[in-house]
Chain A
Amino acid sequence: MRVHQCMLIALLGTLAACSAPSLRPSTLYSAADMQIIASDVVQSLAVSDFLVGRNERSDPIVLQPDRMWNLSNERLSQADKLAAVTRVLYDRGMQELLAAKNVAILYPLKDRWRVEHLTPEIDVDPFRDAGLDRPSSGLRPTHLLQAQFNSVTRTAASREGQASDTRTDLFSVDYTIVEVDSRRIVWAATSQVKRFAHGSLID
């Protein structure tokens, strides 16, 4: 092969290689993290004193998902915030358990719309089948499910004197169920995930 042909091929190869930009990872809180945390919290709630002592003849409880407080260093989309509580309540096993414990879920219509539109990965059909999303006129929440999102961030440079290129975030989500009348916390759980990413933060 001639020299200039080799050079041309090398040049074309280089151009082809640079035509496919790919994104590098970040420590952003992801849908997968949310799933891990929700599963963790579902298990914790299922075996909690709040539910264990109850049965289908217990006094009815109306549980309403409340807002999620973001005190982390990470911006959360509206969908992420909703998903943080809906993933716990939309869990099929949790729905069956709550129904068996005479706990109804009151879900604001506007939020249901958001869940269906913004988090399509959540399967709302079982929830609907169970009749838990019926407009419940006159029903008022006795308990609120709240979540608070915190994080600790560390950034560093892999070489001294260079710009930061590693970041670690420890995300912690605190879930609580609060009795509306007494403002008493009747259940609380915390779940954590840690994420690490390498690459120039600025570029």
Chain B
Amino acid sequence: MCLWRVIPVIALCVAMTSCSSYQPDGDVLRLTADGDYGAARVLAADRAVSDPDDRSYMLDRMKMLTLGLADGVPDSVEGVADRLYDFLRTQGVNADAGVATFFVGEGGARIWKGEPYEQAMAYASIAALDGTRGDWGNVRASATNALFLVRDFSEAIERGRGELRSVPPDDALADRQAIAADAAVRSDEPDFVLVDSDFELGYALQAVSNDQLGLAQERDEALERLLVLAPRLEQFADEIRSGAYNAVLYVDYGLGPRKIGAGPNQVFAVFQPRTSPGLEPLRAIVNQSTTVEAQVMTDVVRMAQDVRWNDLEQMRRAKGALGTALLAGGLTALAVADNEWVALGGAIAAVIGGMVKSSAAVDTRHCETLPQRTYIVPVTLQPGFNSIELEIAGRPGTRLILPTVPGPAARAPASMHYVRLVADGSVPPSWAVSGEVRYANDATGSAGPTLPYILGGRCVRTPTRSIVREYHEAGLPRRYLLADVLEMYRAEGIDVVGYTDAAPGLHVLEGGRSLYTPLPGSTGFARLYGREHPSYSSRSELVGRVRAEMGEVADSAVTQPDAMQGE
């Protein structure tokens, strides 16, 4: 036996089989869990691949969409949503990837389209974006597409139950989900039947949008199906049917499940919760007077762990077995061969076996910024700004006060407000519960004359002539006009989003170089304006000169936070 021949080949095969799988972006995850959606959004966009032919291009767009929504800047991801929708609706994206998948694995050959549950959630996110713009026709269309037929493997799983019992209960990798999936694809008989979707969120969005479009029959059909799936949502159905609401809160919470490989050759996809699942209701207090309790609409972990929402790849298991056989046979031939050609053939077989074996592993790419659960809450808002307090029962860290949720205009369709609760911690961040608006912004305006933030004041509004007149009252020398203020922003390298086509980056209040106002009523709005930020340090000579000229009068001229509340 020639060990010197075998060792390098084994080393090569080990290197191949231990090829790194997808690594979720830890920084983005941490920021998202902390509710720091602005930084998470910017980081995700910076790290997103820019080549549309890249196989992870759409995965990165999906993250950008979810975080743009969370940060209250849906307009900035409108193009992303357009592209993602077109992609989701494109059929047979991976139709040609079969052979390549065999050799290089799913991650290297298949364009990421997501597991079926990720696709459904992507449609729902697009619907949320359109909902924030009052586009109920598009909400309806996305919700309808989210309700695609799914494959029900329950019969195949039932047939495989005998094998399930034989699995040692302490085997960590023998996750029930993986074995159920295995049982489902192992059968020689038809593996599944196509059944209607059980995606509660899709039916709920369909019902609300049909209601807003005056399609009562379609609304009732959607609600009927929803109640069959989730009788706990009866109160929601009653409220939609009665039409006694003029706004809908689309509330996401937590982080979606982690996808990892399990089983022999990592051929099975297993979904582990990042945020613990549960059915705790969400309590919403509107204007400190009306309390609404909403049940969980959809638990994403439940979907991910349900075989019908997974994309089972039968090829993986066969590949794992073939790879093992080739590897073992090749190494044996290599070790015992007394002919160089046989040894070469053995080495090639072993290397190919290693490749096939390593590529049998499941593609663990997944959208880590999805929420763990979603609530849909119909509420009645007053004209002007409304205060809404949200908290999930038993999870005090989720408490969030939104002081400026705009009520819909008279005779206008209902409005939709997207809110993402903070995922981590037993205590909510201070900004989440301050209920204050401490900086003048484009949505709520200013309670009195104040200087721009870059000049030491509290105004982060898009400059206009009338706003510059307020700056004059607050102490800005009158010879500085609108063009001069814009020039100051330019000199500081700050994009005033209202004057450019630039997408909003990190806000100037958070140390970034972008001036914009998130949607009032969004989590991003509460985070930006609900807390104190450090004083601005100017970078340019121009702004430094203007500040010196004013003698740093800003501190005495700023508007007091309390005066701005509830505007």
Q: Which residues in A have some Cβ–Cβ distance to B below 8 Å? A: 3-4, 7, 11, 14-15, 17-18, 20-28, 69-79, 117, 149, 155, 157, 161, 163-165, 167, 197-203
Contacts and interface: CB of A to CB of B under 8 A. Distances in A.
Given A14-B103, A15-B100, A17-B99, A23 B344 contact: no
Contact of B111 (A21, A69, A75): A21
A26 B96 contact: no
B213 to A, nearest CB: 7
B91 A70 contact: no
B91 A75 contact: no
A198 B92 contact: yes
Given A4-B348, A11-B103, A14-B99, A203 B113 contact: yes
Contacts of B245: none
B141 A161 contact: no
B113 A18 contact: no
B92 A164 contact: no
B171 interface: no
Interface residues on B, range: 35 or more
A22 B111 CA distance: 9
Nearest to A14: B103
B99 A69 contact: no
B435 to A, nearest CB: 33
Contacts of B85: 75
Given A26-B86, A72-B141, A73-B141, A203 B92 contact: yes
Contacts of A203: 92-95, 113, 311
Given A24-B93, A200-B94, 19 more contacts: A3-B345, A11-B352, A15-B103, A23-B90, A24-B92, A26-B89, A26-B90, A27-B89, A73-B145, A79-B82, A161-B193, A163-B151, A167-B91, A198-B91, A199-B90, A199-B93, A200-B91, A201-B148, A202-B116
A75 B190 contact: no
Contacts of B96: 18, 21-22
Nearest to B83: A77
A24 B91 contact: yes
Given A70-B138, A202-B116, A14 B95 contact: no
Contacts of B344: 4
B78 A78 contact: yes
B119 A202 contact: yes
A69 B137 CA distance: 7
- Chain A interface secondary structure, helix, strand, loop or mixed? loop
A167 B89 CA distance: 10
Contacts of B142: 75
Contacts of B213: 71
Contacts of A155: 149
Cβ-closest 7 pairs across A and B? A199-B92, A18-B100, A70-B137, A199-B91, A24-B92, A75-B141, A26-B90
B89 A70 contact: no
A14 B100 contact: yes
A113 to B, nearest CB: 11
A163 B194 contact: yes
13 contacts: A4-B345, A17-B99, A21-B53, A21-B93, A23-B93, A26-B90, A28-B86, A70-B137, A71-B140, A76-B137, A161-B190, A163-B194, A167-B91
A164 B145 contact: no
A69 B141 CA distance: 12
A185 to B, nearest CB: 18
